[in-house]
Amino acid sequence: MHSSSPVGEITDIVKKLNSGASFYADAISHVASENYQAMFTRMQEEKVRAINTLQPLSNLEKDNAKAGSNGCIELRHLYTSILATIASDHDYTYMKQLIEVEESILHAIDKALDVGPPPEQASTLRLVRTRMQQCHDEMLSLHSAAVSQIA
């Protein structure tokens, strides 16, 4: 469900964050690299913090905020699980797909800001966006390091 109201957009973000946190939790258990596990744990923790920050501004009640999910991210998660079974490098496969999750979350936050939320909501969204941009940048740095090791 996509809504053009600030509350509807924030609800969509919370669902994406929840799916992203779940995806990271699964990735932690499937990657071999301790560095990836540590990075993914930090990313998952940031998603949970963002959920807790945005949930009061959403249509989701506190108990339901962790149950909400985003179909697109859930499909990417399933796709990655299947791809990882045939890929030679599980760590890289998960990392590459999680970068896409980060981009999806940033896009959703930008969309919510474009709707023109009230100032207090906009401020909260910008704060969460800054943290999610840091997550995205860290994942890109991890990707760059992985690519340079392959080359």
Kindly report the pTM of this predicted structure.
0.85
Phi, then psi, of 117 in degrees rounded to 5 = -70, 160
Which residue carries 């990392």 as its tokens?
95
Residues 6+ apart with CB under 8 A from 131: 46, 49, 50
pLDDT at 6: 85
Q: Which CATH superfamily is domain 6-150 in?
A: Ferritin, core subunit, four-helix bundle (1.20.1260.10)
Q: Are the C-beta atoms of 54 and 14 separated by less than 8 Å?
A: yes
Tokens representing residue 93 in the block:
């496969």
Which tens digit of pLDDT belongs to each residue from 2-59?
Answer: 446 888 899 999 999 999 999 999 999 999 999 999 999 999 999 999 999 999 999 8
For residues 36-67, one letter each, b for 16 or more C-beta atoms within 10 angstroms of the residue's C-beta and e for the rest, the string is bbebbeebbebbbebbebbbebbbbeeeebbe
Strands of the chain, DSSP E: none
